Chain A
């Protein structure tokens, strides 16, 4: 059976497989494979979120899942942007908003930390100029 990625059932089949792949790779400390699988999880959860409203419990699961998986994939910009997008939906229930705010803050901290770790390259002259006598 090939899952139909255009149906909710098909997306559920695919996301279940991707989650198990991601968790297994993470446990084996295969970082790049885990990040790749979590990114796939995040993209599939986003498609599920597009199918279900925020007021539906499974729609809420998908929205949290999009952001959580993006964080696990170290896609902090994606996590932040999508958390903001889902928070801007006025129909989102309070418990979903609280969870998304927490995940957005986590993404923000990770983005700040990543910026802090960027090595600052300071150009340094290897010769000096002397003012004309």
Chain B
């Protein structure tokens, strides 16, 4: 699977150029802390295990100094998550949510249903525990027919996405 962050706007036509640019530059800075373009990430997307080759446009020199480290990790993760869920499920970004809404994005599935997606970025840490925590969080969001979480790790590059099963609720 190829996740090219330069395709963010093609995949999500409703993202304004400004929004796509903010997401892409944060992802580039987060990835370039330790990796080069075309890095291979472990990918666990909705029950399928595999690898993803991630490519991006390099961040401008000095960009890391202009950005907050935590925001870089969070928004970088969002850029990767939006690319992954489009690649694997065809979900398209509808709107960003504010903090406190139990999800980061409302998306539209190919069948028109609304999906709530919670994204978490981490440099390191317990991937599985974070996924459980994020699934519990997004389960509280009533706006989506489908509820999903995506966790991105930048240290040992990996990306995982899972849906909240209704039986889980």
Query: A61 to B15, Cβ gap below 8 A?
Result: no
Interface size on B, residues (CB 8 A): 27
* Chain A, residue nearest B94 (CB): A12
Query: How many Å from the CB of B49 to the closest CB on chain A?
Result: 31
Query: How many Å from the CB of A41 to the closest CB on chain B?
Result: 7
Query: A9 to B98, Cβ gap below 8 A?
Result: no
Query: B68 to A15, Cβ gap below 8 A?
Result: no
Cβ of B47 under 8 Å from chain A: no
Decide yes or no: A13 and B16 within 8 Å by CB, A41-B98, A57-B142, A64-B100 being known contacts.
yes
Q: Which of A22-30, A77-85, A109-117 has 4 or more CB atoms under 8 Å from chain B?
A: A22-30
Q: Mark A102-125, 1 if CB is under 8 A from B, else 0.
A: 000000000000000000000000
Query: How many Å from the CB of B112 to the closest CB on chain A?
Result: 14
Chain A, interface SS category: helix
Cβ of B14 under 8 Å from chain A: yes
Query: A24 to B95, Cβ gap below 8 A?
Result: no
Select B16's contact among A17, A28, A65, A69, beta carbons within 8 Å.
Answer: A17
Question: Chain A, interface size: which category?
Answer: 20 to 34
Interface residues of A (CB under 8 A from B): 1, 3, 9, 12-17, 19-21, 23-24, 27-28, 41, 57-58, 60-61, 64-65, 68-69, 95
24 CB contacts below 8 A, A to B, read A3-B16, A12-B94, A14-B16, A16-B15, A16-B19, A16-B95, A17-B18, A17-B22, A20-B19, A20-B23, A20-B75, A23-B71, A23-B99, A24-B68, A27-B70, A27-B71, A28-B68, A57-B143, A58-B106, A58-B143, A60-B142, A61-B143, A65-B101, A69-B98
